[in-house]
Chains A and B, each alone.
Chain A
Amino acid sequence: MGHPILNLVAQRIALGLLLLFLASGLIFIGTQILPGDVAQSILGQSATPEAVANLRKELGLNDPAYVRYFKWLAGLLQGDLGTALSNGKPIGEAVSYRFSNTIFLASWAALFSVPLAVILGLFAVQYKNRWPDKLISGVTLASISLPEFFIGYLLMFYVAVILGWFPSVSIPNESMSLLEKLDTIALPVTVLVLVVLAHMMRMTRAAILNVMQSAYIETAELKGLSPFTVIRKHAFPNAIAPIVNVIMINLAYLVVGVIIVESIFVYPGLGQYLVDHVSKRDVPVVQACALIFASVYITLNIIADLVSIIANPRLRHPK
């Protein structure tokens, strides 16, 4: 112990847990001020006041808010996400199926977009202000400027309907082989890649260009290294921290922000599940999904922080 890195890592993780706790509070408060009454919406407009009152009592909705919050929190700590109001089933099961689907989609999108973004960024640096750089910037900026539902429907129309290469609806199931699954999710993955590519590419380019101003880059050039070696060995390692940060934000977006893409392609992911249950006023499901999204965000950002800390030789090797 005593190594500054370990202290920093412990500090970050502790902060992450605190943040998660605060997020759970915010989520709970947020769902409490939603309009409407769960019991009422379960039973429908024609329910008698007695029936609504009974159901409220049964669901524990008459307890004060803080009691319900701590009950919920205690359940969470034991791994119990609660029971869906709409169908009475445990939320955990549905969520784990949906969440693994979302992760499946996000992982494949990340697997293509992150290396592609970094490589394109490196190329853009090498051909700075020449046509390859302008082409890369232009295309990626155009793709980020189009709303994702627009790209989604565009691809669906041309690639799925006219060309017939991939299915327009992406519903993978257990009996499919990996290849069949990939074929199924090809279109949503493409949309997601196009959406996150520009941000990561631009940041890679900017971070490396910033480092390229340093005196040690001149030293490397005067050593007779080839331009690409200079970028790879001397510029890139010093630009990791900002690049990783922006990659993590985009990875988080791939998990949390896919709601629209999932809805378009009717993909059975967590986003679509959340949207369905918001319209049903199923508060426990909304809370559970929001909390999962929050933990994904916080975890990925902690990882980004940790990578930046570890990438810094001053912290890794103190005097």
Chain B
Amino acid sequence: MSDNLLEIKNLKIGATVYPPGEKPHDITIVHDVSLILKKGQVMGLIGESGAGKSTIGLSSMSYGRGGVEITGGEVFVNGRDILKIQAHGLRELRGREVTYVSQSAAASFNPAMRLMDQVIETTLLHGLSSKAQAEERAVELFRSLGLPDPENIGNRYPHQVSGGQLQRVMTAMALCPKPDLIVFDEPTTALDVTTQIDVLAAIKKAIKDTGVAALYITHDLAVVAQVSDEILVLRHGNMVEHGTVQQIIEAPKEEYTQELVKAHSITHEEKKPTDNPILRVENITASYEGTIKVLKDVSVDIHAGQTLAVVGESGSGKSTLARVITGLLPPSEGRIVFDGKELTPALVDRSLDDLRELQMIYQMADVAMNPRQTVGQIIGRPLELYFGMKGAEKRKRVVELLDEIEMGEMFIDRYPAELSGGQKQRVCIARSLAAKPKLVICDEVTSALDPLVADGILKLLLDLQKIENVAYLFITHDLATVKSISDSIAVMYLGELVRYGTKSEVLSPPFDDYTDLLLSSVPEMKLGWLEEVLAHRKMESAGN
């Protein structure tokens, strides 16, 4: 009993939901979850969105986010049931015994306060040390977390520091009051893959140095395998499997865990480039407001019915390339040849047919659809606009498209709010295909989705490519995705094309330094991967 830091017994958590068109009702989001965490131990909570992992993590601070309520069970921290203590006692627990690191450090810092004041706030509040001592400790933490200029970074405001650095400052903030337990809630999910690895290493080192216990919440099994001792797999608020990291990764017992372990199982045989590419991007240079060049002399080809993947971290210019091709940002130099003829640089000058043949799918399916239109209206709109379809003819085609995206006619009168994340993205795909395009630009289309759902979307895109012979320009930061679906790959770094060729060419050694960094940064599902990679790195990410 004495060395059980956190003990959760038969935890039940509920919430009231307000679905459109129905009466509000109560649902249970966590059913009967129990776990024990000993001092200095790290447990990974893993699952897809809706698995209840954040909710369970926050319950160790007796906190319910947005109307979520703990309806049953017990949560012991250092031997006392924190669900039974009053608000004042909770304030003693929060920030002193248990601290929290959130997914988006950028949003989790008060924009109007200096970082240092926020980092030491808890330490001072709980009277743990003097201000000078707390600041000294903070600087020490900044240094051990690998932050640049540790003596002065605390004087900055949140907007003056990069995302990866903020995530480390937030870790320092959590460590500063010397807590017994830290809840890490997807701390690296919002970061570039090359930055993620540094933050992950910093967190792992901090946990090891301070001996703090941690709940590490993530949807990425490969990531959690690097930092945890044990893993608890969750699904729809139920415990699926609990075991050591090694057992979960190497010998998962449950079928769901096995699926998670082998996610990204799609294989795709690369097609040979043709002589007449459907789209030629020739020596494009582009800038915003004429000052900083965000694209420098970029040339790529896309072939009919094939996929070009554009990879790079944030700021590499990959989304700008899409903006140039669609005409949203006319380039300062270079030209774009589509289907044998040169495209006018600006969107407003293009013909309806040019617009039709070039469609887009976005990362956030949620905001790419009008919430007040039904699925039928959303998919029907391009049919009406480009082909003048009406009435029964339009409806028939919408149903065909719904069948193609494996959803079916019953969804035709639903609103976007009534769809899951994966279904929303499928509707967006159907809408783009309704125009019978020759090229679809897919901008991070699977980044906001859970791994298994994302796999389904990729599989669908590949199947549709075979049927419709459509070409994809696939923008992503996720190399695993690239490996599964591309025919050729363009690697971009700070606006320049650093490596370009067919998939087999780009992914075969010898690598340039950046491609090597990018490839080696993709978390692999094996123990000790993190240490191995860090020992072999040649360069650092631009986001550091």
Interface set of A (CB-CB < 8 Å, partner B): 214-216, 218-226, 233-234, 237-238, 311, 313-314, 317, 319
**B160 at the A/B interface (Cβ < 8 Å)?**
yes
Partner of B110, one of A220, A311, A319: A220
Of B90, B110, B160, which is within 8 A of A234 by CB?
Answer: B110
Secondary structure class of chain A's binding surface, majority of residues: helix
Which A residues touch B113, using CB under 8 A? 233-234, 237
From B90, B102, B110, B112, give the contact of A224 (CB < 8 A): B90
Q: Is B110 touching A225 in the complex (CB atoms < 8 A)?
A: no
Asked whether B126 lies within 8 Å of A224 as measured between CB atoms, the reply is yes
B95 interface residue (CB < 8 Å to A): yes
Pairwise interchain contact A216-B108, C-beta atoms closer than 8 A:
yes
Q: Does B92 have its Cβ within 8 Å of any Cβ on chain A?
A: yes
Residues of B within 8 A of A224 (CB): 90-96, 122, 125-126
8 closest pairs, A vs B, by CB? Answer: A224-B95, A224-B94, A215-B107, A223-B95, A224-B91, A237-B112, A222-B100, A219-B108
Contact A215-B125, Cβ < 8 Å, known A224-B92, A225-B91: no
Query: Measured between alpha carbons, how far is A313 from B160 in the docked complex, in Å?
Result: 10
Known A214-B107, A216-B110, A216-B111; contact A319-B95, beta-carbon cutoff 8 A: no
> Nearest residue in A to B90 (C-beta to C-beta)?
A224
A305–B31 CA distance with the chains assembled, in angstroms: 52
B95 in contact with A226 (CB, 8 Å): no
Known pairs A215-B102, A234-B113, A314-B159; list 6 more (Cβ under 8 Å). A216-B110, A216-B111, A224-B125, A225-B95, A233-B110, A237-B112
Q: A222 with B107: in contact, given A237-B112, A317-B160 (CB under 8 Å)?
A: no
User: How many contacting A-B pairs (Cβ < 8 A)?
Assistant: 72
Whether A219 pairs with B159 at a CB distance below 8 angstroms is no
- How many B residues have CB within 8 A of the partner chain? 29
**Residue B61 CB within 8 A of the other chain:** yes
Q: Does B411 count as interface, using CB distance less than 8 angstroms?
A: no
B461: min CB distance to chain A, Å: 33
Q: Shortest CB–CB separation between residue A167 and chain B, in angstroms?
A: 46
Q: Which of A222, A234, A313 has the most chain B CB atoms inside 10 A of its CB?
A: A222
- Name the one of B94, B99, B125, B159 contacting A319, with C-beta atoms under 8 angstroms: B159
Contact A317 B157 (CB under 8 A): yes
From residue A277, how far is it (CB to closest CB) to chain B in Å?
Answer: 48
Cβ-based interface call for B515 (8 A) = no
CA distance A155 to B159 in the complex (A): 52
**B341 near A: Cβ within 8 Å?**
no
Question: B94 to A221, Cβ gap below 8 A?
Answer: yes
In the bound complex, do residue A216 and residue B107 qualify as a contact, i.e. CB atoms below 8 Å apart? yes
Could you say which residues of chain B place their CB within 8 Å of the CB of A237?
110, 112-113
Checking B91, B112, B121, B156 against A238 with a beta-carbon cut-off of 8 angstroms, the contacting residue is B112
Q: Are A222 and B63 in contact (CB under 8 A)?
A: yes
Tell me the bound Cα distance from A218 to B90 in angstroms: 14
Q: Does B500 contact A (CB under 8 A)?
A: no
Query: Which residues of the partner chain B approach A317 to less than 8 Å between Cβ atoms?
Result: 156-157, 159-160
Residues from chain A with a CB closer than 8 A to the CB of B107 are 214-216
Question: Which chain B residue shows the least CB distance to A314?
Answer: B159
Contact assessment for B99 and A222 in the assembled complex, using a CB-CB cutoff below 8 Å:
yes
Seen from chain B, the residues whose Cβ lies within 8 Å of a Cβ on chain A are 61, 63, 65, 90-96, 99-100, 102, 104, 107-113, 121-122, 125-126, 156-157, 159-160
In contact, B102 and A219 (Cβ under 8 angstroms): yes
A229 nearest in chain B by CB position: B125
Q: How far is the CA of A317 from the CA of B152 in the complex (A)?
A: 14
Cα distance, A222 to B174, chains bound together (Å): 10
Determine which of A216, A218, A226, A311 lies in contact with B65 in the assembled complex, contact meaning CB atoms within 8 Å. Answer: A218
Q: Which of B100, B112, B125 contacts A219 (CB 8 A)?
A: B100
Residue of B nearest to A225 (CB): B125
With CB as the reference atom, state the residue of chain A lying closest to B117. Answer: A233
A–B complex contacts, Cβ < 8 Å, 18 sampled: A215-B108, A216-B109, A219-B108, A222-B63, A222-B99, A223-B95, A223-B99, A224-B125, A225-B121, A226-B91, A233-B110, A234-B110, A238-B112, A311-B112, A314-B157, A317-B156, A319-B159, A319-B160
Assembled-state Cα–Cα distance A317/B526 (Å): 44
Most buried by A among B93, B95, B110, B126: B110
Chain B nearest CB: distance from A257 CB in Å?
A: 32
CB-based nearest B residue for A313: B157
Pick from B94, B99, B121 the residue with the most CB of A within 10 Å: B121
Smallest CB separation, A43 vs chain B (Å):
64
**Bound Cα distance from A222 to B60, whole angstroms:** 11
| Cα-based distance from A224 to B157 in the complex (angstroms) | 22
What is the CA–CA distance of A301 and B161 in the complex, to the nearest angstrom?
Answer: 33
How far is it, in angstroms, between the C-alpha of A314 and the C-alpha of B92 when the chains are bound?
A: 33
Q: Which residues of A contact B63 (CB under 8 A)?
A: 221-222
Task: Decide: A222 near B94, CB < 8 A? Known: A216-B111, A238-B112, A317-B160.
Answer: yes
Cβ of A296 to closest chain B Cβ, rounded Å: 30
Residue of B nearest to A213 (CB): B66
Docked-complex contact B100 and A313, CB < 8 angstroms: no
Taking the closest CB of chain A, its distance from the CB of B424, in whole angstroms, is: 23
Instruction: Chain B residues near A223: list those with CB within 8 A.
Output: 94-95, 99, 121-122, 125
Contact of B95 among A216, A222, A314 (CB under 8 A): A222
A319 to B93, CA, bound (A): 36
Residues in chain A near residue B102, CB distance under 8 A: 215, 218-219
| B159 lies within 8 A of A238 (CB) | no
Residues of A with C-beta under 8 A to B112: 237-238, 311, 313
With the chains together, A319 CA to B156 CA distance in Å? 9
A222 CA / B185 CA spacing, docked (Å): 13
Nearest B-chain residue to A217, judged by Cβ: B110
**A214: chain B residues within 8 A (beta carbon):** 107
Hey, which chain A residues are within 8 Å of B160, CB to CB? 317, 319
B125 x A222 contact (CB < 8 A)? no
- In the complex, the chain B residue whose C-beta lies closest to that of A215 is B107
- How far does the Cβ of B143 sit from chain A's closest Cβ, in whole Å? 23
The answer to whether A222 and B61 touch across the interface, beta carbons within 8 angstroms, is yes
Measured CB to CB, the nearest residue on chain B to A311 is B112
B159 CB → nearest A CB, Å: 5
**Minimum distance in angstroms from B230 CB to a CB of chain A:** 24
Expressed in whole angstroms, the Cα–Cα distance for A222 and B159 within the complex equals 22
